Amino acid sequence: MAEWSELLAELVEARGTELNRYGFLLCGDRAEGADLFQDALVRVFTHPKGGWTVRDVEGYVRRTMLNRYLDLYRRRHRLRLLLPRLSGGGQSEVVPDHGEGADRRLDLLAAIGDLTPRQRACVVLRFYEDLPVAEVAHRMRLSQGTVKRHLSDATARMFARMSESRPDHPPAADGDASSAHASTGGTR
Amino acid sequence: MNPFPIQDDLRELAELAGPHGVDLAALGGRIRRRRRTRLAVASGAAMALLATGGWLLPGLLAGGSGGPVGPAGEVTVRPAPSGSSDAALGKLDPEARQVVELLERVLPAGKVSVLGARGLHDKGLASPLGSGLFEPSAAVEYDDGHGEALVDVDLSRWSNPDTTKSPFTCAVGQGEPKPNGCRTVRLPGGGVFNLSRTDALQGAWNAVWTGTYAAPDGARVVIQEDNAPSDKGAAATRPQPPFDFAQLQRMATSPAWKTQLAAIPAAGGQSRDTNTPFGPDGIGAIFYRLIPSGFTTSGYNGAFQPVQGNTMVLTDSRGKGSVYSTELVGAANTPAGLAAFRKDYPNAVRLPNGDWLGSKQVAGQGGPGTEQYWVAVQRGNTRIEVVALNSVGPTGPRTRATPVLTIDQLTMIVESPTWGSGG
């Protein structure tokens, strides 16, 4: 068995589920997320390098997934612009109820679905990947100020959407409205 | 209580993804096929680990496959240096180093470790407020003996500041989060200084205070401080950020910034006009502002796609037609990128400044008489492409005799310095 295929198997076994989740959060659709993940694996392993570790290659796969996601979204958007007949196309996959908390998750899914691709990617990198703004900026090839703006806009929008969806949600006390925003580092 | 625990919710949401479902045998087959194909087509190409810059618009408009013909590769991004101040400074280019040195000059005495910086001419990607040029910034870890704190500064120039909003007032716009504290003072000479304060919430986020000096001429200095050495993932090291209102004001209004601020051209400044028809879309706004006068515009699309492109419909007395713009940042200056450019534009010429410029006229897809004008420039690792049609949409029927912008007008658009100097 070639070295790359052993590494591939090791990566998928160790990190496949996590990377699949990452793809799902980026795309908001399980099938698309899985495609994103596997497409990234193909791209990365088409040019394997000697000496890669699982950790190295996971980083490449994540970066490929992120860039591919942004690229695919742009293409799809462009396609919608140019071929309006497709614009009424497929609806987002309906995520099945997984019990307690499903409503909140669906609200969140809808809320992040409202975000622009860049906002969404920033949110996933920042709050799911738990990266500092500087690293998000590096991965997104944006300035830190721009990332902060994206995060600020995204969290404000998500907060508004989640509040709408959950009328029983405790109203934001003074300062709470800024809570989601706060950790983005404020607006510039 | 954290009323909006994004991180926890995202983790719960991610569980809905289910198991990965990777079929290793099938995937291995795909990889082997792709490797064989790639070896047959090209050798020695740059690692295509990252996204290929796809030019679907050109592909579709030109009747091509729509497949990626653009350059592949990764944008060169300088990683933020870390370590001791001296070592990190040594890794910065001279302009970035200047910004760090200025920040160090205005900081009160303390230990400073450089985290990163961007010089006056370092090109970031366009933001809702500008092209990404002329936005010097620096970030340092600062310790005055009471705990490490992240401090960063951004310098910019606003071409037409909106004095009804922050920092000129503490008004909170609709949908905007309200800070924990805000104060604005009018300064002699017409400037203002504003402190916007987001306090820490234990277990959720650290304190972030932002001081903004807005000069009468549009120059702006923003200094932000945290009560932790990083704005994420670091425990608070002190109850509050290190500098109070007066200290931040003194730092932000320091004459030390004068030279840097003066070097930010008004034409390259950030606009308050983020309400172009493209919304918060830097590239769209640039494109919109470069459209020659004499047209009414409509049919805007492509908002939120600041890297990839935008479209709108221009109308004058001779009819209407669509225009498109795309910008790709990243690896356009690799051999593969240049080869792709020259394939798309066989007549491309190299300009004295090293840019490549190409144009073409092709038949449209909207039936008899439809036509498309294309012009592209490759500048550094950035490729900018604009297209004009004599139809509305690529497959629409002819709506005017010739495309709505001439080759010369398109050339002026792509050659505009407001697109930036590339990566």
Residue of B343, B246, B269, B379 whose CA lies nearest to B42: B343
Cα(B12)–Cα(B16) distance, integer angstroms: 7
Residue of B116, B57, B12 whose CA lies nearest to A145: B116
Q: Would you state the pLDDT for residue B107? A: 96
Q: Would you state the pLDDT for residue A94? A: 35
**Lowest-pLDDT range of A160-169, B4-13, B336-345:** A160-169
Q: Which residues, 6 or more positions from B312, have their beta carbon under 8 angstroms from its beta carbon? A: B277, B287, B288, B291, B297, B298, B299, B300, B301, B322, B323
Q: Would you state the pLDDT for residue B277? A: 61
Q: Does B281 contact chain A (CB < 8 Å)?
A: no
Q: Would you state the pLDDT for residue B38? A: 41
Q: Among B6, B50, B201, whose Cβ lies nearest the Cβ of A127? A: B6
Task: Identify all chain A residues contacting B176, using CB atoms and an 8 Å cutoff.
Answer: 156, 187
**What's the angle, vertex CA A115, arms to CA B207 and CA B152, rounded to 5?**
30
Q: Would you state the pLDDT for residue A29? A: 81
Nearest CA in chain A to B150: A185
Maximum mean pLDDT: which of B14-28, B134-148, B153-167, B267-281? B134-148
Long-range contacts of B85-88 (CB under 8 A, 24+ apart): B85/B112, B85/B113, B85/B114, B85/B140, B88/B113, B88/B114, B88/B115
**Lowest-pLDDT range of A64-73, B126-135, B212-221, B245-254:** B126-135
Cβ within 8 Å, pair A16-B139: no
ipTM: 0.71
Residue of B312, B325, B313, B328 whose CA lies nearest to B278: B312
* Coil, helix or strand at residue A85: helix
**Lowest-pLDDT range of A92-101, B174-183, B276-285:** A92-101
Q: Would you state the pLDDT for residue A6? A: 82
Query: Does B18 have pLDDT greater than 50?
Result: yes
Query: Does B67 have pLDDT greater than 80?
Result: no
> Taking a C-beta distance cutoff of 8 angstroms, is the pair A82, B60 a contact?
yes
Q: Would you state the pLDDT for residue A172? A: 33
Q: Would you state the pLDDT for residue B112? A: 92
pLDDT tens readout for residues B307-327: 356 788 999 999 999 998 877
Residue of B122, B123, B104 whose CA lies nearest to B114: B104
Q: Among B57, B137, B201, whose Cβ lies nearest the Cβ of A179? A: B201
Task: Identify all chain A residues contacting B154, using CB atoms and an 8 Å cutoff.
Answer: 145, 188
Q: Among B80, B302, B311, whose Cβ lies nearest the Cβ of A134? A: B80
Query: Does B187 have pLDDT greater than 80?
Result: yes
Q: Would you state the pLDDT for residue A180? A: 31
Q: Which parts of chain A have pLDDT scores under 50? A: 1, 78-100, 167-188
Cβ within 8 Å, pair A46-B31: yes
**Lowest-pLDDT range of B85-89, B111-115, B135-139:** B85-89
Cα(B349)–Cα(B4) distance, integer angstroms: 55
Q: Would you state the pLDDT for residue B109? A: 92
Higher-scoring residue by pLDDT: B115, A79: B115
pLDDT bin (cut points 50, 70, 90) of residue B250 is very high
Query: Does B287 have pLDDT greater than 50?
Result: yes
pLDDT tens readout for residues A87-121: 223 333 333 334 445 666 777 888 888 888 888 88
Place of tokens 């006068």: B293
Query: Does B50 have pLDDT greater than 60?
Result: no
Q: Would you state the pLDDT for residue A109? A: 81
Crossing angle, helix A133-140 and helix A54-82, to 10 degrees?
A: 60
Q: Does B344 contact chain A (CB < 8 Å)?
A: no
The number of residues making up chain B comes to 423
Task: Identify all chain B residues contacting A162, using CB atoms and an 8 Å cutoff.
Answer: 4
- CB within 8 Å of chain A, chain B residues 368-387: none
Mind telling me how many Å the CA of A93 is from chain B's nearest CA? Answer: 11
Query: Does B3 have pLDDT greater than 60?
Result: no
pLDDT tens readout for residues B349-369: 998 878 899 999 999 888 899
- What percent of chain B lies above the pLDDT cut of 70? 68
Cα B296 to the center of its chain, rounded Å:
27
Average pLDDT, chain B: 74
> Taking a C-beta distance cutoff of 8 angstroms, is the pair B155, B220 a contact?
yes
Query: Does B86 have pLDDT greater than 70?
Result: no
Maximum mean pLDDT: which of A56-65, B25-34, B56-65? A56-65
* Mean pLDDT score, B206-220: 87
Cα(B284)–Cα(B239) distance, integer angstroms: 42
Q: Would you state the pLDDT for residue A166? A: 52
* Mean pLDDT score, B210-235: 83
Nearest CA in chain A to B224: A185
Task: Identify all chain A residues contacting B24, using CB atoms and an 8 Å cutoff.
Answer: 5, 8-9, 12
Q: Among A19, A42, A185, whose Cβ lies nearest the Cβ of B34? A: A42
Query: Does B373 have pLDDT greater than 60?
Result: yes
- CB within 8 Å of chain A, chain B residues 63-122: 75, 77, 79-80, 115-116, 118
Task: Identify all chain A residues contacting B393, using CB atoms and an 8 Å cutoff.
Answer: 82, 84
Give the DSSP letter string of B69-120: -S-BS----PPPP-SSHHHHHHHS-HHHHHHHHHHHHHSPSSEEEEEEEE-T
Cα(B87)–Cα(B77) distance, integer angstroms: 19
pLDDT bin (cut points 50, 70, 90) of residue B411 is very high
Backbone angles phi, psi at A75, to 5 degrees: -65, -45
pLDDT bin (cut points 50, 70, 90) of residue B390 is very high
pLDDT bin (cut points 50, 70, 90) of residue B7 is confident
Q: Would you state the pLDDT for residue B420? A: 54
Residue of B94, B104, B93 whose CA lies nearest to B257: B104
> Taking a C-beta distance cutoff of 8 angstroms, is the pair B261, B157 a contact?
yes
Task: Identify all chain A residues contacting B49, using CB atoms and an 8 Å cutoff.
Answer: 43-44, 47, 60, 63-64
Cα(A166)–Cα(A147) distance, integer angstroms: 27
Q: Would you state the pLDDT for residue B96? A: 87
Q: Would you state the pLDDT for residue B148? A: 92
Higher-scoring residue by pLDDT: B184, A164: B184
Q: Among B56, B80, B224, whose Cβ lies nearest the Cβ of A186? A: B224
Q: Which residues, 6 or more positions from B83, have their beta carbon under 8 angstroms from its beta carbon? A: B113
